[in-house]
């Protein structure tokens, strides 16, 4: 009964919080959660639970600002770090993630809600045997804006899909098709290298609200050719616009250069 499973440690409406030097092991659900907090510092933390334990996010952020997470080891059955609506000015660095689902922004916009996330930096991170690496995921039908995101100096080892934007996120068998979406703009990928076991990059963006200003620099992702892995070595793009600053391995030629027609991403509906 996941709805009644407790979070191991939760801070709500708190300011100037420091969590350091502790271990959280086998939480029934999320290990560490910050909701409506400001001025958060997490470092020298260890989180550990089995990779098949459902909904055991490592660190969950929601409606929180001025957050720093560094020098931390995260192993869990869901997102190592989950960044939800209302978060801004989040700096994550020198983190080890795996197993788990990677570091994720979202899912955002569920139940046709408005979601706003901005100024997120994830750098100097190691991912090991995670489902995704760095991911942005939004539900159909939402509104709002994800902007000012930087993923830099990230090493991937046996990661299924290292780079992902999914504006059709659905954790059920099927979800209703809806035209509106949380807009995604200004996402930088720099020096992301290592091995993947399924697909190097997946950009699935909305027809009505395409992803814009995606930039890629120093991307080198190679398939790990092990018999048990079904590899799709070609990146996938749909309604994704941006620029390749350097050649990528493998080539991400499906990214559309420039900006989407009509600059839909900057409409008043999406402004936060």
Q: Pick the catalytic residue from 31, 60, 101, 202.
A: 101
Q: Pick the catalytic residue from 57, 78, 166, 270.
A: 78
**Which three-class secondary structure state does DSSP give residue 120?**
strand
8 A C-beta contact, residue 133 and residue 156: yes
- Condensed to tens digits (0 to 9), the pLDDT of residues 84-122 reads 999 999 999 999 999 999 999 999 999 999 999 999 999
| pLDDT of amino acid 84 | 98
Please confirm, yes or no, whether 101 is among the known catalytic residues.
Answer: yes
State the pLDDT confidence band at 3, using cuts at 50, 70 and 90: low
Beta strands at 132-138 and 161-166: parallel, antiparallel or unpaired: parallel
Beta strands at 183-196 and 143-159: parallel, antiparallel or unpaired: parallel
Query: Is the whole model's pTM more than 0.85, yes or no?
Result: yes
| pLDDT of amino acid 173 | 79
State the pLDDT confidence band at 269, using cuts at 50, 70 and 90: low
Cα four-point dihedral sign 118, 141, 252, 78: positive
Please confirm, yes or no, whether 78 is among the known catalytic residues.
Answer: yes
d(CA 19, CA 66): 14
**176 has a pLDDT exceeding 60:** yes
Buried-state track 90-115, b at ≥16 Cβ within 10 A, e below 16: bbbbebbbbbbbbbbbbbbbbeeeeb
For the chain, list the domains and their CATH numbers.
9-170+179-257 (2.160.20.10)
**Residue matched to tokens 């407790």:** 6
d(CA 149, CA 127): 18
8 A C-beta contact, residue 24 and residue 46: yes
Provide the CA 77 distance to its chain's centre, in angstroms. Answer: 15
What are the distances in angstroms from CA 169 to CA 68, 125, 214? 27, 24, 19
- Condensed to tens digits (0 to 9), the pLDDT of residues 24-53 reads 999 999 999 999 999 999 999 999 999 999
**134 has a pLDDT exceeding 90:** yes
């Amino acid at each position: 009964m996941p709805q009644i499973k407790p979070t191991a440690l939760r801070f709500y409406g708190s300011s100037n919080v420091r969590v350091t030097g502790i271990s959280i092991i086998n939480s029934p659900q999320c290990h560490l959660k910050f909701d409506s907090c400001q001025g958060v510092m997490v470092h020298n933390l260890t989180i550990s639970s089995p990779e098949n334990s459902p909904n055991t996010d490592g660190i969950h952020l929601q409606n929180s600002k001025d957050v720093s997470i560094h020098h931390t080891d995260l192993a869990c059955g869901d997102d190592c770090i989950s960044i939800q609506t209302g978060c801004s000015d989040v700096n994550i660095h020198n983190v080890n993630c795996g197993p788990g689902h990677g570091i994720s922004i979202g899912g955002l916009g569920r139940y046709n809600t408005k979601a706003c996330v901005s100024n997120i930096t994830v750098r100097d991170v190691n991912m090991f045997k995670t489902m995704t690496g760095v991911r942005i995921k939004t539900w159909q039908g939402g509104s709002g804006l994800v902007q000012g995101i930087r993923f830099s100096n990230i090493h991937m080892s046996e990661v299924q899909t290292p780079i992902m934007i999914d504006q059709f996120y659905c954790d059920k068998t099927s979800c209703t098709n809806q035209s509106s979406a949380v807009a995604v703009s200004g996402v930088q990928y720099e020096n992301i290298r290592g091995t993947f076991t399924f697909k190097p990059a997946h950009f699935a963006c909305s027809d009505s609200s395409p992803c814009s200003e995606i930039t890629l620099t120093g991307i080198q992702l190679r398939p790990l050719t092990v018999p048990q892995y079904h590899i799709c070595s070609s990146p996938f793009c749909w309604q994704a616009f941006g620029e390749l600053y350097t050649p990528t391995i493998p080539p991400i030629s499906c990214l559309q250069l420039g900006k989407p027609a009509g600059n839909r991403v900057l409409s008043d509906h999406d402004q936060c």
